[in-house]
Structure 1
Amino acid sequence: MNRAAFVQTMIALASASLGLVAALAWNEAIKATLAMLGLGDSLAGLYTYAIIATVVAVIVLSWLGRLASRVGGEAAFTREAEG
């Protein structure tokens, strides 16, 4: 077994898992905030939540894209057909 590939895979899986946990935590925080503002499960609240989630996703993905372009480098994994 390739040790580097194993470590890279474990890092990718841990990152995805922790990202999911963080996303669920933000989900609950935003829902609680909207409920405190009286927008809870109303249609306006659901649209507000969807807009907030979309804006945050776009900002984070844009920032990560810029970071990736500055860092450069090679992909962590290559398919055997490419190698």
Structure 2
Amino acid sequence: MPKEKKEKKEISHRLRIARELRHQFIVTLSTLLTSAFGLVAALAWNELVKELINQYIAPGQTLVSKLIYAIAVTFLAVFASLQLGKLAAIDEIEKETKEEKEQK
């Protein structure tokens, strides 16, 4: 009997490891794909912003257009980061509130 228990424990341990590896693979693949699509989206927005700036600034003013582009992209990045930060904070507050209610 002890040998059978040991074998069952070993099999159970190996199954847990296999499940964890599968989980890590899925998480890593998900992160990579999300990053790839994020890069594609960023490149698409990059082209759009460049076109908009080039359309409204006279040709030959490359320094001015690059400055405007840098400011616009920085503004958009800060705005998006702040909005995502607010969402994360709201989510965290809701999670803490739920946990407090469950403890009572």
- TM bucket, shorter chain: 0.7 to 0.9
TM-score by length of 1: 0.75
Tell me the distance in 2 between the aligned counterparts of 1:50 and 1:39.
17
Which 4+ stretches in 1 moved above 4 angstroms? none
Tell me how far apart the structure 2 counterparts of residues 29 and 35 of structure 1 sit (CA, whole Å).
10
Please say if 1:48 is aligned against 2:68: yes
Across the aligned residues of Structure 1 and Structure 2, the Cα RMSD in angstroms comes to 1.8
Equivalenced residue count is: 73
Identity %: 36
Which of 1 and 2 has higher RCO (CA within 8 Å, sep 6+)? 1
Q: Which structure is larger by alpha-carbon Rg, 1 or 2? A: 2
In the other structure, the counterpart of 1:66 is: 86
| 1:3-62 CA-partner distances (Å, limit 9, x unpaired) | 221111111111111111011111111111111112565211111100100000001111
Q: Which runs of 5+ in 2 are unaligned?
A: 1-17, 96-104
- Note the residue ranges of structure 1 that are not aligned, 5 or more in a row: 74-83
> How has the CA–CA distance of structure 1 residues 57 and 39 changed in structure 2, closer, same or farther, with 3 Å as cutoff?
farther
Cα separation, 2, equivalents of 1:39 and 1:53 = 20
Q: Normalising by structure 2, what TM-score?
A: 0.62
